[in-house]
Amino acid sequence: MANIEIIPLSDAIGAEIRGLDLRVPLDAATVSAVEQAWYDHVIILFRDQDLSYDHQKAFASQLGEIAARGGDSATAQEKSLSENVMLVSNIRENGKPIGTLPDGEMMFHSDTPYMDNPRKATLLYAIEVPSEGGDTLFSNSYKVAETLPEEIKHRLAGRKAMQVYDYAAQFKPDGSYDRSVHPHCAQPIFRKHPETGRTSLFVSELMTDEIIGLPEDESRDLLNFLFEHQRRDEFVYAHAWRPGDLLMWDNRCSVHARTDFPSDQRRLLRRLTLYDEHPVMMGEPPYREAAAQ
């Protein structure tokens, strides 16, 4: 097994793993150690990596099955790499972005909760980054769930929320998304992680439209309360990217957002996701017990 060091990134979430060159295949014990660090810290960071697309794909494949890209149709530049890759970039050729999610700020969300089986992991590799801004913020959804007032836990226990997304949106439109045209799926609000057994809050400002079964006003007020709680500094780590960073996050127990950055500076990251081999589960007691009352 490789000699690795695991160094927390913040009190809220995340750890850096040092001692690995991700171009080299990992032995089984090292894969297990990386997985365990990911379960413990929710997001893991490897710095100073020099990864081609094939390297990134080979590394990702050791942790799960690479998922179809999803989303709107891929750009020519994305397709030239693979069906599965997304380039997160504001770089334009002939006036058109070479990738996806090009410019500026983005609200908190997880990746693909509007699908039946949301992707468990996203692996984002930084190639070019602006001199300032364009940070990715990560909020720890275990801690967010655990620290909710008991009264709120009881009101939400056993409930589902509707997750919807318009691929072009980086901000939630006023009102709701049009479900006749955009992908959507009802998901548990409290979600049990299949590996850690811990319960997380599975909603986000960008993609959660409605708490199912509650009057509209109550649903809206509760969601606003949850979004504010999720944004609190004590749960959030802001990642300032450096070229060569490979970051892998767990969409089952975190949400992420992006800060604004200068539009005249280039930003390019390469992204893969992994299928989840476990179906989504409802959260554990006390959340579920409370629902029965």
Determine the Cα–Cα distance for residues 46 and 239; give it in Å rounded to an integer: 12
Choose the one of ligand OGA, Mn ion, none that binds residue 137, judging by a C-beta under 5 to 8 angstroms depending on kind.
none
Q: Shortest gap between Cβ of 114 and ligand OGA (angstroms)?
A: 13
Comparing CB distances to Mn ion, the nearer of 108 and 235 is: 108
209 is a contact residue toward ligand OGA (CB under 6 A):
no
Q: Shortest gap between Cβ of 236 and ligand OGA (angstroms)?
A: 14
Q: Shortest gap between Cβ of 26 and ligand OGA (angstroms)?
A: 24
Q: Shortest gap between Cβ of 140 and Mn ion (angstroms)?
A: 16
Interface map 78-117 toward Mn ion (x if CB under 5 A):
---------------------------------x------
* C-beta neighbour count of 59 within 10 angstroms: 25
Side-by-side strand order, sheet with 236-239: 106-109, 254-258, 136-140, 236-239
Side chain identity at 167, as an amino acid letter? Y
Asked if 232 contacts 116 with a C-beta cutoff of 8 angstroms, the reply is no
Interface map 174-193 toward Mn ion (x if CB under 5 A):
--------------------
Determine the Cα–Cα distance for residues 53 and 55; give it in Å rounded to an integer: 5
Choose the one of Mn ion, ligand OGA, none that binds residue 191, judging by a C-beta under 5 to 8 angstroms depending on kind.
none
Determine the Cα–Cα distance for residues 114 and 182; give it in Å rounded to an integer: 9
107 is a contact residue toward ligand OGA (CB under 6 A):
no
Could you say which of 271, 274, 282, 283 contacts ligand OGA (CB under 6 A)? 271
Q: Shortest gap between Cβ of 3 and Mn ion (angstroms)?
A: 32
DSSP characters for 201-249? Answer: E---TTTEEEETTS-HHHHHHHHHHHHHHHT-GGGEEEE---TT-EEEE
Of residues 128-187, those binding ligand OGA (CB under 6 A): 136
Could you say which of 56, 122, 140, 199 contacts ligand OGA (CB under 6 A)? 122
Determine the Cα–Cα distance for residues 223 and 204; give it in Å rounded to an integer: 9
Comparing CB distances to ligand OGA, the nearer of 30 and 251 is: 251
Which of 269, 272, 222 is CA-nearest to residue 69? 272
Dump strand ranges (E) for the chain. Answer: 5-8, 15-18, 43-46, 86-89, 92-93, 96-97, 106-109, 121-128, 136-140, 160-164, 184-188, 190-192, 199-201, 208-211, 236-239, 246-250, 254-258, 268-274
Could you say which of 17, 51, 87, 88 contacts ligand OGA (CB under 6 A)? 88
Where does this chain bind Mn ion (CB under 5 A)? Answer: 111
Residues that bind ligand OGA (CB under 6 A): 88, 101, 106, 111, 122, 124, 136, 256, 258, 269, 271
